[in-house]
């Protein structure tokens, strides 16, 4: 990058590898603990292996990167020529990743601005892209951070899960805990709100929940120029069909990304996840 501001994020941004390479974005991996094995997301565990483990009810937990992992990343990025780093991560309400980055930033060889985006998945990925594009155009660290904050403020994330059990086990369910007593009787629609997973609506069937998810996204886009990401876990046909319907109903969309979430998010949502991120430009 001509401005020498480098962008670091984490593996839960779920950016396509080619996009990360094109924009010079570095992702620090979180860890999935499967039984007695600690495996790095993105390189050492596949979403298929995760889905199989969850379906067999094997114990699955997740872990943040260590401060030493962040420190090594910051050193490597500095050695590649960066004179400043913007390090932006998933919501601190969901993970200790941000805290680990803050600890490492204190000893980094170049200035590091660590940002809690309050986002996750491509909601985080779109923020990383905004920062990278700002840096590529000659923006300063402060300008890259402002681009992140602006993108995060306008971005919404909604998702459907087949069951709340995985979110309950991982302690990520927030006020949606009120649903637990009737989890088998409803299909919940959830949203990311103030960095936390919150209940949006209760719907009686999976088909009605997905139809309602589609309506919410179309309403959220309105006539704006926006990027959309459709995420899933072990539900590729469901995700592709939703993306096609959104393209047809919101023709002004800038980009529509369809991707399977990684093992870290999948461990907390379970197979059948269908999510949509709306990020106005």
Contact criterion met (CB below 8 Å) for 128 and 15: yes
Which class in CATH covers the domain with range 156-280? alpha beta
- Please give the pLDDT value at position 179: 52
Three-state SS at 47: helix
d(CA 102, CA 92): 11
| pLDDT tens-place string over residues 217-242 | 999 998 888 999 999 988 899 999 99
* Domain layout of the chain by residue ranges: 5-30+65-153, 156-280
User: Is residue 111 packed enough to be buried (19+ CB in 10 Å), middle (13-18) or exposed (0-12)?
Assistant: middle
Residue 133, φ and ψ in degrees, nearest 5: -65, -35
Which CATH number, 3.40.630.10, 3.10.580.10, 3.40.50.10170, 2.102.10.10, labels domain 5-30+65-153?
A: 3.40.50.10170
Residue 263 to residues 49, 149, 233, Cα–Cα distance (Å): 9, 26, 9
Structural element, H or E, at residue 6: strand 5-10
Predicted pLDDT of residue 266: 85
List average pLDDT for each run of 10 residues in the chain, which is 281 residues long.
81 93 96 84 78 78 94 97 97 95 97 97 97 95 97 96 73 51 68 90 88 95 90 92 93 86 85 92 85
Predicted local confidence at residue 181, as pLDDT: 44
Its pTM stands at: 0.91
Judge whether 5-30+65-153 and 156-280 match in fold: no
Q: How many CB atoms are closer than 10 A to CB 219?
A: 10
Pair type for strands 25-28 and 5-10: parallel
Who contacts 217 (Cβ-Cβ below 8 Å, separation ≥6)? Answer: 158, 228, 246, 250, 276, 278
Distance CA 107, CA 42 (A): 27
């Amino acid at each position: 990058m001509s401005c020498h501001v480098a962008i670091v994020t984490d593996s839960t941004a779920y950016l396509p590898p080619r996009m990360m390479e094109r924009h010079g974005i570095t992702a620090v991996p979180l860890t999935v603990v499967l039984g007695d094995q600690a495996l790095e997301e993105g390189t050492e565990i596949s979403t298929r292996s995760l889905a199989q483990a969850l379906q067999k009810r094997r114990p699955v937990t997740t872990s943040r990167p260590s401060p030493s992992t962040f420190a090594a990343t910051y050193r490597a990025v500095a050695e590649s020529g960066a004179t400043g780093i913007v390090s932006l991560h998933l919501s601190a309400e969901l993970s200790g990743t941000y805290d680990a980055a803050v600890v490492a930033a204190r000893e980094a060889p170049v200035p590091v601005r660590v940002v809690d985006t309050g986002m996750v998945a491509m909601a985080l990925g779109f923020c990383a892209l905004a920062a990278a594009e700002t840096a590529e155009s000659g923006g300063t660290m402060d300008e890259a951070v402002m681009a992140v904050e602006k993108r995060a403020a306008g971005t919404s994330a909604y998702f459907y899960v087949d069951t709340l059990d995985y979110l309950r086990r991982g302690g990520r369910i927030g006020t949606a805990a009120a649903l637990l007593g009737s989890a088998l009787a409803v299909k919940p629609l959830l949203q990311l709100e103030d960095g936390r997973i919150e209940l949006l609506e209760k719907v009686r069937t999976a088909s009605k929940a997905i139809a309602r998810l589609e309506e919410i996204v179309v309403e959220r886009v309105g006539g704006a120029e926006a990027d959309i990401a459709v995420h899933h876990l072990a539900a590729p046909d469901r995700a592709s069909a939703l993306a096609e319907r959104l393209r047809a109903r919101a023709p002004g969309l800038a980009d529509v990304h369809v991707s399977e979430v990684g093992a870290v998010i999948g461990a907390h949502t379970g197979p059948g996840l269908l999510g949509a991120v709306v990020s106005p430009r």
